[in-house]
Amino acid sequence: MSHFQVVIIGGGTAGITVAAQLKRKDAKLPIAIIEPSEKHFYQPAWTLVGAGAYHFKDTIREEADYIPKGVKWIKDYATQVLPKKNTVATKNSGHITYDYLVVAPGLVMAPELLEGLPEAMEKGIACSNYTNPEHTWEMLQKFKGGNAVFTQPSTPIKCGGAPQKIMYMAEEYFRKSGVREKTNVIFATPGTVIFGVPDFAKTLNQIIEDRAIVFKPFYSPVRIDSDKKEITFRYIKPGIKTTDIELNEKLGEQTDGESEIRMPFDFLHLAPPQMAPKFIQDSDVSIQDGPNKGWVDVDKHTLQHLRFPNIFSLGDVAALPTAKTGAAIRKQAPVLVENLMGMIQTNSLGAASYNGYSSCPLVTGYSKMVLAEFKYDNVRDSDPLISKIVDTTKEQYSMWLLKKYGLPFMYWNLMLRGKA
C-alpha cells in the first residue's frame, strides 16, 4: 500500500494545475496524481476543430510532459474513494492512502441517458464536439440544407455555451458554402434563455435575430430516431402543454401528446448528457440525494468537503453552482491550494474564497467572440483591465484572437505549470 501526503484523483486541467501550484508552494510535498490517460487534451479548442478552424492534433499533448517534477504519476484508474479510511482504490495499483485528497476526475459523457443517441452517434447521424469534433467538421461540409438542429441535455454539462458556439460558426459556414437560404438553423435548449447573464444575453439575442436563427427554449431532448432522422423534445415550461403553443410549420414540428414535440433533422449536433464518474457517485464523497446528487459535496467558497475536512474538490466534478469550464478551474485552483496548504501547515483553512468566477468565450463566428465572464448568481464579472480596452459584451475580433491563440498558449505554458 502506497501513502502520500496529498493524493490527487485526475490529471486533467484541475488536477495538473493544483499539483503544479502545490509544488511551487512546497517542492518537498509528497504528492501523487492518479490518472490513466497518456494524452492530455485542450478541449476548449474542440469548438474550433468542429468548425474547421483548428487542427485536432494541435489539441493533444503527452500527459507525461505536464506531470509536475517531483509528483508521482500513478498511471491507473481510481475505482473507489473510501473517505472514512483515507484510501483510494485503483484498478491495478492496489490501495493508495493519503493525508489529504483532491478530487478532480472531471465528468463523463453519458449518451445512454438519451434514448437513441448511442445508435445515432454510432451511425454517424448525430455529431458532437464533446466526443469527436472532426466528425462535426465532416458533417458540416457534407450538409446540403434542411433542418440543422443544435441542442443540449438537461443534465449539467461542461462549458454550457459550447452547444451554441458551434451553431454560430455553422451558420456562418452555411452562408459561405451557399446552403444557408435552404437551411433552418435551430437552437433548442431546456433552458429558459439564450444565456443566463443579462448583459451577454442581450448581445446573443440580437445575433440570433439578425441571423434568423430559430430559438426554442424549454425544449429538453428525450429521444432520437436514427431511421426517421427525428428528434423528440419534451416541452418543459411549467403549466404549458404542447397544445397551447404555436408550432413552427416551416420546421416540420409535430406534437406528440401533451408534452412532446417531434422535429425532423438533416444535421444534428448535441452535447451528450453528462454525469460524475460512477466511482464518485457510489462514494460517500458525493451528494446522496437532491438536485446535485452524484457530484462532490464541497463548500462553494472554500472548496473543502462539507463532511470530510481533509478532502477538497474542484473542476467539473464539484457540486458548484457555476459553469463547468477551464476558466473556472483557473480561479478555483489557487483558492483550493491556499486552503489546503493552511490545513497542512496549521490544521486550519487558509483565507482564500472562490466567488464562482467562470468564463465562456462565446465564439459567434469565424473571427468574432463575446467574452462572457460571470460569478455566482449570474452576476457579470468582466476583467477590469480587458474591459477598459474592449467592450466584452460585444462581438470582438481581438477576443477571437484571444480564443484561438492567447488562451491555448496560456493553458499549456502558464496554467498547467502553476503560473496562472
DSSP letter for each residue of 354-400: ----EEEEEEEETTEEEEEEEEGGGEE---HHHHHHS-TTS-BHHHH
Q: Give the Cβ contact number of residue 290 at 10 Å.
A: 7
**Per annotation, catalytic residue among 18, 139, 159, 207:** 159
Residue 142, strand partner residues: none
Going by the DSSP 8-state scheme, the letter that residue 110 receives in this structure is: -
**Per annotation, catalytic residue among 360, 363, 369, 407:** 360
Query: Is 360 a known active-site residue?
Result: yes
Nearest to 358 by CA among 390, 324, 385: 324
Q: How far apart are CA 381 and CA 360, in angstroms?
A: 11
**Whether the Cβ atoms of residue 147 and residue 265 lie closer than 8 Å to each other:** yes
Q: How far apart are CA 379 and CA 374, in angstroms?
A: 5
Instruction: Indicate the SS3 state at residue 269.
Output: strand
Query: Is 127 a known active-site residue?
Result: no
Instruction: Indicate the SS3 state at residue 263.
Output: strand
As given in the structure block, the three cell numbers for residue 191 are 433552458
Q: Element (H or E) spanning 343, and its range? A: helix 326-346
- 401 Cβ neighbours under 8 A, 6+ residues apart: none
Backbone phi and psi for residue 382, each to the nearest 5 degrees, phi listed first? -70, 145
Residues carrying an active site annotation:
159, 360
